[in-house]
Amino acid sequence: MLDSTSETTDTTADGRRKSSQLAELKADLLPEKRALAEDLRALFGALGLSVRGYALRRHLDASSVTRYLNGERVPQWKFVAELIGDVREVAAPLTPEAEKALRDTHRAALRTNRRDSEIQNLQDRLASVDEETRRIKARERALEEALFDREKTLSESITRCHRLETRLDSQRSAHAADLALWKGEWEQLQDECGHLHQEVLFLQEALAVTRAELIAAEGECHRLESELETMAGLETRAGGVSSLMAALEAADRTATVSELLTVIGDLEARTQKAMARELVSSVSRSRRVEDVAALLTGLQRAGLHAHAEAALPALVMTRPVAETAAMAAELHRAGLEDYVATLLRSSIELHTPCDVIGLALLLRRGRLEEVTQTLLSAAFVVRTVTDVVAMTVWAAGTDAEPSTLAALGPAAEHRSPQEVVELSIALRNAGRDKHVESLRAAAAERRSAKDVVNVIECFMAKDMDTEADHVFALSQNRDVPHVLALARAMVQAGHSDRVASIVDHAVRHRPVDDVAAMIIDLYNTEHFPQAAQVLMSAVRRSAATAPWLFSALDKWYPGAEAVVHMVAASGSPENAAFLMACLESAGLHPLAEAVFRTTLMQRPTGHAGVFLQWLASSGTAAGREEALRERARAAHGPDTASLLLALVAARLSPAVDAVVQGAVTDAAAADVVMLIKQLRAVDHPIDPRADEVIRRIAATVVDAWTTPKQVSLVITLSEIGLAHDAEFFTRRASERPNFKKNLKSEQTKHAQRVLSPKFWRKRPEDVEHEGGPVREMRS
């Protein structure tokens, strides 16, 4: 603590300072008041001002200040706080411990006067309540700004949806018109084909009647001598239908395969298709499997496919399962895969679940694994859920069981999501746990993203959350396009909470290139929140991979800068600050600068304030006072104005002072004027912060600028309409020597003086043509 006397200075008229001292403290002062007066004198002595000068600066009465310093009166804490602030500007600030000790001394001095103590307590309570009110208002503004941002984002999303719906309707209308045109053309071509087909049939019938009778008669003559008379009647046109049917029955019993083919061909030529088809069906029901296979082969070669296709269902219906399997083997060896498919289709439609499994076992024993798998896969797709479960039960413990597990893949792929869930429940009830797992895996691995979401929703509707989670987890292991489609489908279905799981899984298990591809795809499809979520999860997961991630982003359109710009423009301030810190640590300074500028220039002031507060608390290089000072020294007016207002909103007073010093100390007066104008332009209308910034600018200007430069600043402010700010700067600079004199001189230097020699100087037009002067006084 200093002595009880303190040296002060007074200023003379010519600008020189003269020394003076405060009077000694009275001996009868109470100890509490004496201690406070000594502390105040010690602080006041650090200012280097006279009592009168300080009173003018603070708009106080000089006698009151003297009584405060002499201990005769106990000042309010406001006076002490302002004195501490003034000392902070010119000397080292008080430590928190010293300021607390001074507050305690002030309280002790107040207690010597009960009324003053009560007033100070009330003022302290009022200040505390006022501070709490300011904090609540600041939070209210931040919430309002966040709500405004969310409402704006929602409005933009709704607008995009309406735009897409309009585009879809226009495309649907255009395609509907094209479809109607093509349908008319197709119907016209169908009519023409029908007329031509009738003409061809008419001509073929005229040619085939005689040939059919001749071929039938010759075949019967060679093989059926006992019925010579009956077959001879076929050579005449009067031969009846009854004789032809008798011949067909005889051919069915005794004719060879080649002869049967000849008869069927003759019937086809005579347009007796129904009889030909009946003959083939009868042969397929009664002859040996080898003969039937040879007949079907001949029909295939002769181009008579329809008769063979019609005969196979009858064969499946009437013959045992073993003969059906043997027929399938014969047709497969003959290369008649279409007939094999028809045979399998008939078996699926006509056989019981037990017979289907029996046929599968026989085919497998014949080493026809591919045919077996085709049979079971088709059966599992088209048969009812009950039949599918029955087939899995019949196949349990047999050689066909692995094929049934594989057959669930097509079933999961082609059945509806509701049927997949019903089948899963039925298989679980039947104790077919392996089949349940195979079915769920197939549904997750084979279905489209939208179908997977539907399957998950169906499981959830049945309160089967475990099964839904299992399908969801398996589906995330597929390729990147499917994972992206799955994320979009989840958003469209209202399951945005699951998108976070998709993002986390992708970030943890996929390489950097895949993660970058996901981010770019989501960005280009305007799923900006999901793209930002993937990027931030990847960065938070492993900051060490950030350089490779952003390098991979630059390989795709529109590049890493557009992505980080989107994150800063739409995300939370904490995400933007964390992203900037990560980019700085990775040496990606251009991208970090893009995040900083986007947050300051495009986000609300409160949002930017939280961003800067996070940077300062995390120790990021960009948030340090030195970096902010250098940024302000090199920045333009709009950038600096937004930065200052955000720092004030964040209550980072040292940083505000650093930015003000960087932007003002060496700046031209015109640049500072533009800064002040920009502060007024971008300031919040309800909760203005520009006054605080301008007060700090004024303090820096008064301390660092020359008097002529200050005068230029005040005049420029007045000329551009900022009279209030000009008046404020005038009050702050009035204590500078010769400021008022220079200001008045600058303001009046262009004013015309009535009694000056220049005013009375003759004008050229006052001189006569001859050159003589005209002695008239100008008024």
Q: Which two tokens stand for residue 442?
A: 């197939």
Q: Evaluate the CA torsion angle 447, 437, 419, 409 in order and state its sign.
A: positive
Cis peptide before 558 (omega within 30 of 0): yes
Mean pLDDT of 70-89: 89
pLDDT digits (tens, 9 = 90+) for 557-604: 888 999 999 999 988 999 999 999 999 888 899 999 999 999 988 899
Domain endpoint, select from 101, 127, 153 = 127
User: Residue 100: inside a domain, yes or no?
Assistant: yes
Give the least confident one: 199-208, 236-245, 429-438, 478-487.
236-245
Give the least confident one: 172-186, 380-394, 511-525.
172-186
Structural domain of 654: 624-760
Taking the C-alpha atoms of residue 537 and residue 50, their distance in angstroms, rounded to an integer, is 61
User: Residue 558: inside a domain, yes or no?
Assistant: no
- Residue 572 backbone phi and psi in degrees, to 5: -75, 160
Given a contact cutoff of 8 angstroms between Cβ atoms, the answer to whether 471 and 452 are in contact is: yes
Largest CA distance in the chain: 166
Q: Evaluate the CA torsion angle 506, 510, 515, 517 in order and state its sign.
A: negative
User: Residue 109: inside a domain, yes or no?
Assistant: yes
Which residues make beta-bridge pairs with 21? Answer: 7
Among the listed residues 7, 4, 39, 41, the one whose alpha carbon sits nearest the alpha carbon of residue 25: 4
Band of the pLDDT at 607, cuts 50, 70, 90? very high
Among the listed residues 220, 214, 291, 215, the one whose alpha carbon sits nearest the alpha carbon of residue 249: 220
Among the listed residues 81, 75, 73, 1, the one whose alpha carbon sits nearest the alpha carbon of residue 41: 1
Q: Which residue has the higher pLDDT, 235 or 372?
A: 372
The b-or-e profile of 346-381 (16+ CB within 10 A means b, else e) is bbbeebebebbbbbbbbbbeeebeebbbbbbbbbbb
Taking the C-alpha atoms of residue 543 and residue 549, their distance in angstroms, rounded to an integer, is 10
* Residue that has been written with the tokens 């200075």 in this structure: 9
Taking the C-alpha atoms of residue 722 and residue 714, their distance in angstroms, rounded to an integer, is 9
CB-side neighbour CA atoms (13 Å) of 318: 13
User: Residue 121: inside a domain, yes or no?
Assistant: yes
The b-or-e profile of 544-577 (16+ CB within 10 A means b, else e) is ebbebbbebbeebeeebbebbbbbbbbbbbebbb
pLDDT at 541: 84
pLDDT digits (tens, 9 = 90+) for 740-778: 888 888 877 765 555 455 555 555 554 444 444 433 333
pLDDT digits (tens, 9 = 90+) for 190-223: 877 877 777 777 666 656 665 655 565 555 555 5
Q: Using DSSP, state whether 9 is helix, strand or coil.
A: strand
Given a contact cutoff of 8 angstroms between Cβ atoms, the answer to whether 38 and 31 are in contact is: no
Rama region for 177: left / alpha / beta (φ>0; ψ in -120 to 50; rest):
alpha
Given a contact cutoff of 8 angstroms between Cβ atoms, the answer to whether 68 and 75 are in contact is: yes
H runs (alpha helix) in 542-635: 546-553, 560-570, 573-585, 589-602, 605-618, 625-634
46's enclosing H/E stretch is: helix 31-47
pLDDT digits (tens, 9 = 90+) for 275-328: 556 666 666 666 677 777 777 777 777 666 666 677 778 778 778 888 888 888
pLDDT at 693: 93
Among the listed residues 47, 27, 52, the one whose alpha carbon sits nearest the alpha carbon of residue 37: 27
pLDDT at 116: 63
Band of the pLDDT at 373, cuts 50, 70, 90? very high
Domain endpoint, select from 127, 155, 175 = 127
pLDDT digits (tens, 9 = 90+) for 512-537: 888 998 899 889 988 888 888 888 98
State the average pLDDT for the chain: 80
Domain endpoint, select from 110, 127, 144 = 127
Taking the C-alpha atoms of residue 109 and residue 430, their distance in angstroms, rounded to an integer, is 90
E-strand stretches of 182-325 = none
Give the least confident one: 118-127, 552-561, 661-670, 710-719.
118-127
Cα 332-336-337 angle, rounded to 5 deg: 75
Among the listed residues 494, 491, 495, 493, the one whose alpha carbon sits nearest the alpha carbon of residue 531: 491
DSSP state, 21?
A: E
User: Residue 653: inside a domain, yes or no?
Assistant: yes
User: Residue 91: inside a domain, yes or no?
Assistant: yes
Taking the C-alpha atoms of residue 777 and residue 379, their distance in angstroms, rounded to an integer, is 124
Q: Which two tokens stand for residue 414?
A: 């082609």
Taking the C-alpha atoms of residue 379 and residue 374, their distance in angstroms, rounded to an integer, is 8
User: Residue 742: inside a domain, yes or no?
Assistant: yes
Taking the C-alpha atoms of residue 691 and residue 725, their distance in angstroms, rounded to an integer, is 9
pLDDT at 654: 92
Q: Using DSSP, state whether 7 is helix, strand or coil.
A: strand
18's enclosing H/E stretch is: strand 17-21
Residue 75, pLDDT above cutoff 60: yes
Residue 8, pLDDT above cutoff 60: no
Q: Using DSSP, state whether 100 is helix, strand or coil.
A: helix
Taking the C-alpha atoms of residue 694 and residue 680, their distance in angstroms, rounded to an integer, is 10
DSSP state, 734?
A: T
Band of the pLDDT at 682, cuts 50, 70, 90? confident
Q: Which residue has the higher pLDDT, 142 or 625?
A: 625
Cα radius of gyration (the chain) = 50
Burial class (CB in 10 A: 0-12, 13-18, 19+), 30: middle
Taking the C-alpha atoms of residue 99 and residue 88, their distance in angstroms, rounded to an integer, is 12
pLDDT at 405: 92
Mean pLDDT of 608-636: 88
The count of other CB atoms within 10 Å of the CB of residue 528 is 19
Residue 29, pLDDT above cutoff 90: no
Taking the C-alpha atoms of residue 330 and residue 309, their distance in angstroms, rounded to an integer, is 16
Given a contact cutoff of 8 angstroms between Cβ atoms, the answer to whether 484 and 522 are in contact is: yes
pLDDT at 242: 41
Given a contact cutoff of 8 angstroms between Cβ atoms, the answer to whether 620 and 584 are in contact is: yes
pLDDT at 760: 52
User: Residue 333: inside a domain, yes or no?
Assistant: no
Residue 106, pLDDT above cutoff 50: yes
pLDDT digits (tens, 9 = 90+) for 396-432: 999 989 999 999 999 999 999 999 999 999 999 999 9
Our count of domains for the chain comes to: 2
